[in-house]
Amino acid sequence: MFSSGNVLPVKIQPPLLRPLAYRVLSKKYGLNIKSDGLTALAEFVGKSFGMQWKLNNVTLQFLEKFAVVWRQQERGVFIDEQGVKDVITEMREREKVNSATTAATAGNGAGALEESSKKQKQSTLDKLLGRETQEDSAEQDTEQYAGQNLAAVSPISASVSVIDDAEERETTAEEEEDQLDWKDYFKIINASEQPKYTYDPVKLQFVFSSIASDDTEKAMQKFKLPDIEFKISLYATRLYLVRDRVLRNENFQKSDDFNPLSSIVAMKEDLTSTGSLPKLFTSMSITQIKNLAGRDGQNFLLLGLLAQNARGNWSLEDPSGTVEIDISQAVPTNGLYYVPGCIVLVEGLYFTVGNRFHVSAMTHPPGEKRETTLEAIGNLDLLGIHSSSSSNFVPRLDADLKVRLHLLERELVEHKFTFLGGDIFLDEMSTFAALRKALMIFENDPPTVIVFYGSFSAVPVHASMSSKNVSSTTQYKKNFDRLADLFAEFENVSQNSTLIFVPGINDPWGSMVSLGAAYSWPLQPLSPEFIQRMRKVCKNVILASNPTRIAYLSQEIVIVRDDMTDRFKRHSVPFPVIEATEQESELDAMKVEDARSQEKISISQLVKHRDQLPARIKESRKLVKTILDQGQISPFISNIRPIVWNLDQALSLCPIPSTLVICDTSAPPFDLTYNGCKSINAGKFVVGKKARYVEYRPSLKKTQQEEIIF
């Protein structure tokens, strides 16, 4: 197929090769050819096939084989220059192997032909010497033997054997390629290492942003403040992502959908009205705030950011404008947190007097499953696991590879992830006693991953001296040295498990500024100087950011350490209608208690209602639903929870992950699934004389809460 030096090379312009390449590569094999890839193909075809490249079918055969090898190597759907060079090199190697095999087979055939001719001559001499008595049998044997030799040296049979050998080698190569190694698809991605994408609300797609090319630029970026453009587009990007997700929801696409935000009063009025079609069954479209001007007394559905204006009143913001809202009569959807900074859907009436929007109902945007979001954004590889991104190439998740990774994931039933509880205070003796007990259990069956959640100090680490006249950072390092000595006693865990340390609010270097208060997210990993002895003892130690992500085969696992339940409760928006209802219910409960104290209590009054759930389950569902519906780990304004402007993408949950592991010591441990996302909370590590942790098996997506007494 490749030239042997007798072809006069020519220079082919890429547009001349494009129709032929499109017919074979794009139309038949579904591959997309980039300009640099087409140029590389045209250059190779001109050098290899010369002026005859368009007159015979050798170019078609080359493109066919090129597409087959490209697919075998799973290089994606975009053909670039580097990929063309790699595939052509592979094709040359295969051509050499096939040529060597053909030559060896041809040599064996020539030897068999020479031996056959000698035997035929011997048979002819025997006939001439007068062996007529055995003529019939000799002729029959000669014909049979000659037929066998002819079959042995036949060009057709020789070529068939060569093809069979080539197919067998290709099958063996494909089987070797099909054997995926799970370690190639296991990676921890910190917040600063995640590929940067910006969202284009006009094209409805993510656009790759250039990142630092070498280690020097990456090191300099750590000391560089983010640009103001990131601050300007931070909340607008959040709103655009939620808006497009809402518009993909089927309830906002058809004109005859039921509107779940309609109030009960409006529902009764519509059902009792006669004549025209009830307004209840006409869908409402989302209106931009700027389009409210001059439309007095009309009902609208708005989507915006909930915040307080300069006068202390509640307002709703979107990229088009701001409007003050009145929530005195608003009825929010139950089971959700409403805090400043979250994105909400509100329904109500707009009055030009005072330029105020009177809210009748409020809820969060509807959630969306991970597969639906990935399909909407073109199956982009936002974590950069399968291949690196560039300005000319954006990797996408291959459907066949996802299936193969999922099947491999189901086979690795022995893999398990262990998430210890939060607040592993290494300056307390009880923590080491609990860790020793847990490591004794892990030693028999070491987990694949063990996640340690901070804070790793009971007090904030800052520039001060302790009572022993030792700096707090020195004491902090000694605590990790003690942890290394503990791991040295458990060799099986130290050599076979991957240890991940996620910092908390008391850990350096953020604690130097915040002194234990909520610092700007995401938190950077711990300094490597603190774990020098740990890395000598343990084989795999990873310092992760907070939050961080784990890519494991087909799953995306998000790890978060934050007491967000307390923050949601502290900053919840007070609704007057809800507060009045709660006061009435409390008065009714007091009256019932007084009546019970005077009368006999029946058994039915002691039995809980079938639909009544424990408070801890309600709280856990409320937390998970709020985070996933918002598509953001921290849906607060910057005054409540500061954000590093250029790292807001690390806090985004678009698409929602396969598994969300929240370490929230202010919430009880839970394990639930919402929209296909497995949500886990291990709680606090040391509770009294008990140590808590969670074992998660990715093959089954099942968890088990564990408690050990030490």
Domain with 73, as residue range(s), is: 14-97
Read off the pLDDT of each residue in 324-347 and give the average, rounded to a whole number.
Answer: 95
CB 632 within 8 A of CB 680: no
Whole-angstrom Cα distance, residue 677 to residue 323?
Answer: 35
pLDDT in tens, 259-276: 555 544 455 555 555 444
Residue scoring higher pLDDT (612 or 449): 449
Query: How much is the pLDDT for 142?
Result: 40
In a domain, 443, yes or no: yes
**Would you say residue 519 has pLDDT above 80?**
no
* 619-640 residue pLDDT tens: 999 999 999 999 999 999 999 9
Query: Which range among 171-175, 380-384, 687-691 shows the weakest confidence by mean pLDDT?
Result: 171-175
pLDDT for the residue 501: 97
Read off the pLDDT of each residue in 213-233 and give the average, rounded to a whole number. Answer: 69
Average pLDDT over residues 143-156: 40
pLDDT of residue 636: 95
Instruction: Please report, for residues 420, 442, 616, the alpha-carbon distance to residue 708 in angstroms, rounded to integers and kept in the order given.
Output: 12, 12, 22
**Final residue of a structural domain among 68, 97, 126:** 97
Mean pLDDT value of segment 645-663: 94
Q: In one letter, which amino acid is 539?
A: K
Residue found by looking up tokens 């007097």 in the block? 353
Closest listed residue to residue 148, CA positions, set 122, 121, 112: 112
* Alpha-carbon distances of 375 from 69, 201, 448, 556, 630, rounded to whole Å: 27, 17, 31, 16, 19
| 8 Å CB contact between 314 and 356 | no
Residue bearing tokens 């910057």: 638
Q: Minimum mean pLDDT among 273-277, 403-407, 493-497, 622-626: which range? A: 273-277
* 339 inside domain: no
Q: What is the pLDDT of residue 132?
A: 42
pLDDT digits (tens, 9 = 90+) for 47-80: 888 877 877 788 888 888 899 888 888 788 888 8
What pLDDT sits at residue 427? Answer: 92
pLDDT at residue 608 in the model:
57
In a domain, 543, yes or no: yes
Percent share of the chain, pLDDT over 90:
48
Whether residue 564 has pLDDT greater than 90: yes
Measure the CA–CA gap between 247 and 368, rounded to whole angstroms. 11
| Encoded tokens for 75 | 């290089």
pLDDT-derived band at 400, boundaries 50, 70, 90? confident
How much is the pLDDT for 250?
84
Which residue among 97, 113, 132 closes a domain?
97
DSSP 319-380: TTEEEEEE-TT-EEPSS----TT-EEEEEEEEETTTTEEEEEEEEPPP---HHHHHHHTTSB
Q: Identify which has the larger pLDDT, 409 or 389.
A: 409
Whether 283 contacts 254, CB under 8 Å: yes
Residue 169: what pLDDT? 53
Q: Is residue 168 part of a domain?
A: no
What tens digit of pLDDT does each residue of 264-316 get? 445 555 555 544 444 444 456 899 999 999 899 999 999 999 999 999 999 99
Backbone angles phi, psi at 171, to 5 degrees: -65, -40
Burial class for 426, CB neighbours closer than 10 Å (0-12, 13-18, 19+): buried
Total domain count, the chain: 2
Q: Which pLDDT score, from 0 to 100, does residue 163 have?
A: 43
Residue 448 DSSP class: S
254: which 2 tokens? 């058809």
Find the mean pLDDT for residues 86-114. Answer: 68
Residue 169: inside a domain, yes or no? Answer: no
Length in residues, the chain:
710
CATH number, domain at 548? 3.60.21.60
Q: Which segment of 109-123, 309-323, 598-612 scores lowest on mean pLDDT? A: 109-123
Range list of H helices, 179-248: 215-221, 228-248
Q: Which of 530, 540, 547 is nearest to 661 (CA)?
A: 547
Angle at 463 between CA 458 and CA 466, to 5 degrees: 60
Q: Check if the beta carbon of residue 112 is closer than 8 Å to that of residue 153.
A: yes
**Dihedral in degrees, nearest 10, Cα atoms 17, 21, 23, 27:** -150
d(CA 117, CA 114): 5
Query: What's the confidence (pLDDT) of residue 138?
Result: 41
Q: Which of 74, 97, 120 is the last residue of a domain?
A: 97
Is the pLDDT reported for residue 121 higher than 80?
A: no
Pairing mode, if any, of strands 449-453 and 321-326?
A: unpaired
3-state secondary structure 19-41: HHHHHHHHCCCCCEECHHHHHHH
Contacts of 546 (CB under 8 A, 6+ apart): 454, 502, 503, 504, 521, 522, 523, 559, 560, 561, 562
pTM listed for this prediction: 0.71
**pLDDT value of position 288:** 94
| End-to-end Cα, the chain, rounded Å | 72
Residue 254 is predicted with a pLDDT of 59
C-alpha distances (whole Å) from 387 to each of 73, 74, 393 are 13, 11, 10
Across the beta sheet with 186-189, the strand order is: 186-189, 548-552, 555-561, 659-663, 677-681, 670-674
Q: Which of 40, 36, 100 is nearest to 66 (CA)?
A: 40
| pLDDT above 70 coverage of the chain, percent | 74
- Considering the domain boundaries, does residue 90 fall inside one? yes
Task: Specify the pLDDT at position 611.
Answer: 61
Judge contact between 546 and 504, C-beta under 8 A: yes
Confidence of residue 137 (pLDDT cuts 50, 70, 90): very low
| pLDDT mean across residues, the chain | 81
Q: Which residue type, as a one-letter code, is found at position 634?
A: S
Residue 596 located in a structural domain: no
Most confident of 17-21, 353-357, 376-380, 657-661: 657-661
Q: Would the pLDDT of 523 be above 60?
A: yes
Q: Return all residues near 320 (Cβ < 8 A) that are at least 6 apart.
A: 288, 289, 290, 291
Q: Who has greater pLDDT, 480 or 615?
A: 480
